[in-house]
Amino acid sequence: MTPRVRFAPSPTGYLHVGNARAAVANALFAARHGGTFLLRLDDTDTERCRPEYETAIAEDLRWLGIAWEGEPLHQRDRLDRYAEAAERLKKAGRLYPCWETEDELKFKREQRLKRGLAPIYDRAALALSPEQREKALASGRPPHWRFRLSEGQAVWNDLVLGHRAVKLGAVSDPVLVRADGTPLYTFASVVDDLEMGITHVIRGEDHITNTGVQRDIIAALGAKPDAMAFAHLPLLVGAEGEPLSKRIGSLSLRAMRGDGIEPAALVAYLARLGSSADIAPAPWDELVAGFDFRAFSRSAARFDPAQLLSLNCKVLHALPFEAVRERLPEGATEAFWHAVRGNLDMLSEARHWWDVVSGNIIPPPIDEAGDRAFLADAAAALPAGAYDTTTFRSWTAALTEATGRKGRALFHPLRLALTGEEKGPELKDLLPLMGRDRAYSRLALAAGGVS
């Protein structure tokens, strides 16, 4: 079977790493098996869905390098299809009206808990007599509609988690249609997946119960639940095993992009996180070739920002100039990029080093009188003419011969005066970018205004 998968976020907020992991898994699986990746927006919740989030989802996926077939599909455009499917379930006796208010349902749950029972719906609406139902319908208050779950279990072989079973009797009959007639995710998603020919549903482990319920709905609509495969990725937790939910805002793709995380680093990290594969920089084709659900652990995967940052550094340090040209400060050259990239954690840090080599900085005060005198000598000894990567070595060799300084005593005052930093890129690479005039001015200033 040629896979046909979908990523179906709800545009009620920005994508976070949990969403991104599902998107990456769907895209890699489809690419590995020559399948199709679709983007569907589950946007029936008109109160919470926003156009700006819809735009942001598309932008974030493109930033990750994930493409989808055709235009994004919108659930809001398919309300007639859900209404038609709901009518079929009503006629089959599987969708029944309920009139309880939220307060009444809350009271019922509390009473069941006090009696030591599971807080599930008691199916009171099914026990209404025909007269009671007619009276409720005549009241003018529109009902919400629940799906009557089957007895027994929903069982399937999960592509990641193996054998899974959901006891349907331990689950409340789910509301599939709100009182205003709009469908809920549990229902609309099933109708869409069936009509779109989805072959594999790949999502997080938190959807296990949903899957059991949705397989029952699939059967009630006359389709075969086993014709659709399911893969549930274990949930992400923090580096110490803590839930990510409280930090999810800081883990949005928007925030990560703003912080300077490279998309190639994030994709490589999410593609292999929780699997037996090494977490290392890898191009898309390599990630596709190695993607296998059997390699994933059934335990929660630890999302470690420090590990991601380390991977980001490796990716960043290997990027060619052409890959970053448009994101570097205006005027930055290939020589500049090669000089500084090995010292960057984030691409945004390149701005500082561009200021160092092309702007005006004020060196920190040099406390030792001997260092100030040395810097005055260093300024006077600067070679004339154009500089290249050999200039620094010949200049410092001459300074060693003249002053006897070497090692830290030689290089540390020079670095402080020329860059204002304790450490950084090789001075042999930075000096040609600065040029003689800028280097002389900084050395003279650090020496105390020697001219």
Here the CATH number for the domain that contains residue 296 is 1.10.1160.10
In a domain, 278, yes or no: yes
CA dihedral (166, 172, 173, 177) positive or negative: negative
Q: What is the number of domains present in the chain?
A: 2
Is there a single domain that holds both residue 313 and residue 377?
no
- Same-domain check for residues 370 and 419: yes
Sorted by sequence, the CB contacts under 8 Å of residue 340 that are 6+ apart come out as: 350, 353, 424, 425
Which three-class secondary structure state does DSSP give residue 144?
Answer: strand
* Same structural domain, 443 and 363: yes
Helix (H, G, I), strand (E, B) or coil at 40: strand
Half-sphere exposure of 226 (CA within 13 A, CB side): 4
Kindly report, residue by residue over 188-206, the tens digit of the pLDDT: 999 999 999 999 999 999 9
**What pLDDT was estimated at residue 451?**
41
Domain final residue pick, 300, 321, 342: 321
Answer yes or no: is 306 within a domain.
yes
Rounded to 5°, angle at Cα 410 from 406 and 412: 135
Is the same domain home to 442 and 364? yes
Q: Tell me the three state secondary structure of residue 300.
A: coil
* DSSP states of 62-86: HHHT---SSSPEEGGGGHHHHHHHH
Assigned token pair, 353: 């080093």
Do the domain assignments include residue 80? no
DSSP state string for 212-247: HHHHHHHHHTT--GGGSEEEEEPPEE-TTS-BSGGG
SS3 at position 397: helix
DSSP secondary-structure letter at 275? B
> How many CB atoms lie under 10 A from the CB of residue 140?
6
Contact 238, 285 (CB under 8 A): no
- Do both 362 and 420 map to the same domain? yes
Q: Do residues 316 and 362 both lie within one domain?
A: no
Same domain, 298 and 371: no
- Hey, what are 389's tokens? 């990567």
CATH of the domain at 428: 1.10.10.350
Between CA 249 and CA 446 the distance in angstroms is 44
Which pLDDT does position 137 carry in this prediction? 83
Backbone angles phi, psi at 283, to 5 degrees: -70, 165
Question: How many alpha carbons fall within 13 Å on the CB side of residue 222?
Answer: 7
Question: Do residues 253 and 310 share a domain?
Answer: yes
- Show the DSSP H helices in 222-368 as ranges: 253-259, 263-272, 284-290, 305-318, 321-324, 334-340, 350-358
Instruction: Assess if residue 272 is contained within a domain.
Output: yes
Are residue 369 and residue 311 in the same domain, yes or no? no
Q: Supply φ then ψ for residue 4, to 5 degrees.
A: -135, 105
pLDDT of residue 449: 53
Neighbours of 387 (CB within 10 A): 19
Whether residue 50 is predicted with pLDDT greater than 60 in this model: the reply is: yes
In residues, how long is the chain?
Answer: 451
pLDDT at 293 over 90: yes
Same domain, 317 and 253: yes
164 occurs within a structural domain:
no
274 CB-side CA count, 13 A: 29
Q: Answer whether 382's CB lies under 8 Å from 436's CB.
A: yes
312 with 370, same domain: the answer is: no
Find the Cα–Cα–Cα–Cα dihedral 227, 45, 61, 290, rounded to 10°: -30
> What rounded mean pLDDT belongs to the chain?
94
Evaluate whether residue 39 is within a structural domain.
Answer: no
Tell me the one-letter amino acid at 188. Answer: A
Report pLDDT for 450: 46
Work out the percent of the chain whose per-residue pLDDT is above 90.
87
- What is the per-residue pLDDT across 360-390, written as a single tens digit (0 to 9) for each? 888 888 888 899 999 999 999 999 999 999 9
Report if residue 256 sits inside a domain. Answer: yes
The last residue of a domain, from among 276, 292, 321: 321
* Global confidence as pTM: 0.88
Residue 403 sits in which domain range? 358-447
- Do 366 and 315 lie in a common domain? no
Q: What is the mean pLDDT of residues 262-290?
A: 96
Q: Which of 295, 321, 347 is the last residue of a domain?
A: 321
Segment holding 148, helix H or strand E: none
What pLDDT, on a 0 to 100 scale, did the predictor assign at position 245? 66
Q: Is residue 421 part of a domain?
A: yes
287: which 2 tokens? 């990630």
